[in-house]
Structure 1
Amino acid sequence: MPQRLTFFLSAIFFAYFISGCSSTLVKDTYQHALDNDDYKAAFFTLSNLEIPNEELEKIQRDYQSENDSTKKYYYEFLLAKATQEKQYLDNFIDHSVSQAKELSVNDSQWISITNPLYDYLSLYGYSDDKALLAMISVLTLSDSANLSVVVNDLNKIYQSDTDRFMRIARDTNLNEMELLDLLEE
């Protein structure tokens, strides 16, 4: 299955560059997200494309009817990134704490050290308390290279506003010493 997905996404990108037809690329990639259990890489791919209004409207309708909370979270990520509308961004950030496990791993075929969900969320950790709380929640679930990225991001926020960071950190189940130890790793 992973080889099929990699081949599929490579074929779509090749077709896109040959034809110059972004609408077809978006339609095909979105259809792949709908037809497969491994929808994550397709959502990540879509989040990096310009989505025509017609397709965006379809994605918004599908988001409204989605019942799976994890898949709905991926819709929120995609719609927040594609539209920059406050409602989608707020929903994405609001659901990030409950989706901390999704943020802490990159189990899709998308190639990067950290999960694109986390990367996008981390942009808001400096100014949004819920985003920072979700980032701290990811800290305890992360390991290896992902852990170093999360620690680095949290250290920057900690250094820029220690009081805010510690106030938000109190809402987690970590005590202050545990948290500071994790930040030193």
Structure 2
Amino acid sequence: PFRVAILHETGSSTKKKVKLIREIASCHGILITSYSYMRLMQDNILCCDWHYVILDEGHKIRNPCAAVTLACKQLRTSHRIILSGSPIQNNLKELWSLFDFVFPGKLGTLPVFMEQFSVPITLGGYSNASSVQVKTAYKCACVLRDTINPYLLRRMKADVKMSVSLPDKNEQVLFCRLTNEQRD
């Protein structure tokens, strides 16, 4: 059995938290924490070797310049997994950031990725794009798709629902009166 610990604000001293991180890392246990705590305790977390790092809501590291993204990319592990229901929300730069965490360097540096993929694909998508730009965008998109597809596992709700026996979702709406304090 694995030892599991949750690192969050408990009022414990920093020394106890540092000790917990080291104990979990040394016994190959499971450390669960938030992105904000990752940033707060990054000096202690980054100095440890981790067998796996799994980022839930991984799209939170979509900004390649954000401090939390930079911290997560420094985690010492050879096994990286991102879970996200929305890996791309705005642009291909976000995809690069997620992928650079999972497989550092696979899509090149950010400037190279922007030049080889993002810019041509974006330009080819405009309504006034030339036929050359459209063809170039299509070729770049195909190369990008073929490059990342071996590392993506997409599951639709309908697919999962058939293989997992979960009860139907049951929603209940409750109306509550405001207290006097809330009304004021």
Relative to the length of structure 1, the TM-score reads: 0.32
The structure richer in helix per residue is 1
**Higher Cα radius of gyration:** 2
The structure richer in strand per residue is 2
